[in-house]
Amino acid sequence: MTWQKISEAIPRDAKTISRGAQVDGAQVCKLWHEYAAQYFGPIAMAAHEALNFRDGVLTISVADATYLLDIRRQQPKIIRLINQALGGNLVKTVRYLA
């Protein structure tokens, strides 16, 4: 049995998919911030943050639960805008950490 580096064993397109997933995740979080700013004032914007996006789930941290209802109410509009901007139905659900 011969040994080889793991980076040589992984197909090139698998590496690209992984990098693409990281970019998409960062892009989704950035788009959430941009579109949420259209619906929320500065205090509500400071009370939450998009943390992570993976496998269709956007995770949002909410520091002040006072704004959670408003964030959830505007969520469908923001998700629709994000999916339109990305040209697909990438964001399927949102998970909140309070």
Per-residue model confidence as pLDDT tens for the chain (98 residues): 566 665 565 555 554 444 455 558 899 999 999 999 999 999 999 999 999 999 999 999 999 989 999 999 999 999 999 999 998 899 999 999 98
Q: Which of 94, 98, 68, 67 is nearest to 83 (CA)?
A: 94
Q: Are 60 and 44 contacting, i.e. CB atoms less than 8 angstroms apart? A: no
User: What is the dotted CATH code of the domain comprising 12-97?
Assistant: 3.30.300.180
Domain ranges of the chain: 12-97
- Tokens representing residue 16 in the block: 């690209």
CA 19 – CA 13 distance, rounded (Å): 10
